[in-house]
Amino acid sequence: MSVNRYEYFQRIFAAQGDKPFILLDNGKTISFSTFLGNSVRLLNFLVAQGVRAGDSVVINLENRVEYLELMLALCIGGVTAYPVDPAVNVKQLDKIKHLSRASLSITSYAQLAYSLDDTIPDCATQGDMDFPYLVVFSSGTTGAPKGIVQSARNFFDAAQAFSASLGLTADDLTLHNWPMFYNAGLFNLFAAPLMAGGSIAIGKRFSAKHLDLFWRDIQHFKPTSAYLSPTMAAALTRTFRFFKHKPDILAGTKIVSTSSILYPSIKQEFFETFGVDMIACFGITELGGSFTVGHGVDGAYSVGKPIDGVLIDIDPEQDGEVLVKSPYMALGYLTEHGEINAFDRSTYFRSGDLGRIEGGELYISGRRKDAIKKGGEFIQLTEIEDLVLGSNLCDECVAVGRPDVFWGEVYDLFFVPSSPETAVATKDAINSLFNQSLPYSQRPAEIKAISDIPKTSSGKPIKRVTYFEGVGGE
């Protein structure tokens, strides 16, 4: 039986009633019923400004609880949301406004207000959940960012399936410390706990420069669930000695790794420091978000088993590319004319990732673009990075492939030394590591020290930018 958009969410929120849904760092809480009421009042305010079902709204805001209330309000109202990074420049923002044909662009919370009218507007009860709800722009780590259009139904159905596989319940408290414009910030840290009937603690957005705020939020909220990218996990592990906390500070928290490959060396170092096994999950925005869930004792590079409804296959003729068929697949890509270039839902989606399936678990070895063939020999660059990171010779590193006239393809290794003064010694040590560990054919063409590795908002290295910025390094 089809239900309208308000009925869809009213059932979810009514089941929890006055239970705290949002926890704030000032000690205040917002119940499920109040959160839904706030979203309805926000929607009534937007309707009074002329926003209608079928319209588009660009959201260019920093993290706040009102962001999440706004996202729910737009969904109930049948309005397409375009969340964008607050750090985008004016030219990029104008381009998104043009593509979206937005009836409203929200760049300040001063543009929002809770209407005194708390009645359910007509737009909330007209139409179901199959409209294009969310346009998320990819990170652009291997090319230009793409606008990925997802329906409301697939988005929240995928979140429900993921939360069930992860084992989230109404008793769980998830720490929200990721960018809210980012897919993980909306899917993993908002929609998933909501569909499980759990609660969300609004913490400070993760920053490598302010790791003390992460530990403060862990101590203050005591979440049962938190998400870290591998880069975040490595930063916390290698700086923990500077913070006066007990090693078991994360004992009661389920730590989920997402955003990029969880290297065995990072996972092991995290366990040795905190006594907590990181749980890997794997997702692709085009397929609805995270669609596999592991457990703490999975093998190296395992991302676990697929969630309910998702089918995974491997293409041996394309170096082991991972193929996925998902009922939660996005509608398609946004074209340069603001239309939807629909995905073919009858075939498997080519992920661009390389992997294998063993015992029902998916193992990811890297992107196809992270694998090179040097003189006909296959080299997986993620394994090179794991070797260097596991040596603790440097803070960060990336291996980047490039064409070569003689070999066909080679790769360069870029690393961040602990200080500029140690760059030469670190380079020599890494070179020695390669000489001892790898045959000549698998060693890098160049080893270069750089001051910083450019990353996306979630901490994922942007290799194409790293290469161009590091070519003239040293």
Question: Phi and psi dihedrals of 370, rounded to 5?
Answer: -95, 5
pLDDT at 141: 47
Which residues, including other chains, have CB under 8 Å from residue 435's CB and lie 6 or more apart? 443
Q: Do 398 and 350 belong together in one domain?
A: no
Closest by CA to 274, choosing from 326, 226, 342, is: 226
pLDDT at site 470: 60
Q: Are 425 and 460 in contact (CB under 8 A)?
A: no
* Predicted pLDDT at 112: 98
**Dist CA 459 CA 208 (whole Å):** 9
**Cα–Cα distance measured from residue 334 to residue 368, given in angstroms and rounded to the nearest whole number:** 24
CATH number where 128 lies:
3.40.50.12780
Q: Is 292 helix (H, G, I), strand (E, B) or coil?
A: strand
Least confident of 29-33, 113-117, 136-140: 136-140
Determine the 3-state secondary structure of 94 from DSSP.
helix
Question: Do 329 and 382 lie in a common domain?
Answer: no
d(CA 181, CA 23): 20
DSSP state of 205: P
- By mean pLDDT, which of 74-88, 97-111, 135-149, 173-187 is the weakest? 135-149
* DSSP helix/strand/coil, 185: helix
Per cent of the chain over pLDDT 70 is: 96
pLDDT digits (tens, 9 = 90+) for 117-156: 999 999 999 899 999 999 998 765 445 568 999 999 999 9
Examine the domain organization and report whether 391 and 320 are in the same domain.
no
When the pLDDT of each residue in the chain is averaged and rounded to a whole number, the result is 92
What integer pLDDT is reported at residue 471 of this predicted model? 56
pLDDT the model gives residue 473:
46
Query: Average pLDDT, stretch 10-24?
Result: 97
Q: Looking at residue 140, what is its pLDDT? A: 52
Separation of alpha carbons 456 and 469, rounded Å: 15
Q: How confident is the model at residue 231 (pLDDT cuts 50, 70, 90)?
A: confident
The confidence score (pLDDT) of residue 375 equals 78
Can you give the residue range of the structural domain that contains 430? 375-470
Which of the four pLDDT bands, split at 50, 70 and 90, describes residue 240?
A: very high
Q: Over the stretch 253-285, which tens digit does the pLDDT of each residue have?
A: 999 999 888 989 999 999 999 999 999 999 999
pLDDT greater at residue 145 or residue 351: 351
Structure tokens at 284: 């692709």
The Cα 393–Cα 418 span in angstroms is 9
The count of residues in the chain is 474
State whether 402 and 275 are in the same domain.
no
Asked if 332 contacts 343 with a C-beta cutoff of 8 angstroms, the reply is: yes
Q: Specify the long-range contacts of residues 81-85, CB closer than 8 Å, at least 24 apart.
A: 81/56, 81/57, 81/133, 81/134, 81/135, 82/56, 82/57, 82/58, 82/135, 83/59, 83/134, 83/136, 83/180, 83/181, 83/186, 84/58, 84/59, 84/60, 84/137, 84/181, 85/179, 85/181, 85/457
pLDDT digits (tens, 9 = 90+) for 40-82: 999 999 999 999 999 999 999 999 999 999 999 999 999 999 9
At 205, is the pLDDT very low, low, confident or very high (cuts 50, 70, 90)?
very high
Final residue of a structural domain among 365, 388, 415:
365
The answer on pLDDT for 195 being more than 90 is yes
- The pLDDT of residue 109: 98
Same domain, 161 and 187: yes
Higher pLDDT, 145 or 96: 96
Q: Is residue 370 part of a domain?
A: no
Q: Is 17 helix (H, G, I), strand (E, B) or coil?
A: coil
170 and 254 share one domain: yes
Please indicate, yes or no, whether residues 170 and 291 belong to a single structural domain of this protein: yes
**Does residue 67 share a domain with residue 194?**
yes
Residue 402's contacts (CB-CB under 8 Å, 6 or more residues apart) are 409, 410, 411, 412, 445, 467
| Mean pLDDT score, 155-165 | 98
At 336, the pLDDT band (50, 70, 90 cuts) reads confident
Residue at a domain's end among 346, 365, 384? 365
Q: What is the pLDDT of residue 474?
A: 44
**129 and 209 within one domain:** yes
| Domain finish residue from 308, 339, 365 | 365
414 shares its domain with 301: no
If you average pLDDT over residues 20-25, what whole number do you get? Answer: 97
Q: Provide the number of structural domains found in the chain.
A: 2
**Confidence band (pLDDT; 50, 70, 90) for 198?**
very high
pLDDT average, residue stretch 368-389: 86
The helix/strand/coil state of 283 is: strand
The continuous run of DSSP H or E covering 449 comes out as: strand 446-449
On whether both 419 and 351 belong to a single domain, the answer is no
Q: Could you tell me which residue, 352 or 250, shows the higher pLDDT? A: 250
Q: What is the pLDDT of residues 274-327, one digit of tens each?
A: 999 999 999 999 999 999 999 878 888 999 999 999 999 999 998 899 999 999
Contact by Cβ (8 Å): 196, 188: no
Cβ within 8 Å of residue 26, ≥6 positions away: none
Statement to judge: residues 406 and 348 lie in one domain: no
What are the residues whose beta carbons fall under 8 Å from the beta carbon of 242, sequence distance 6 or more? Answer: none
Residue 325: half-sphere exposure toward Cβ, Cα within 13 Å: 8
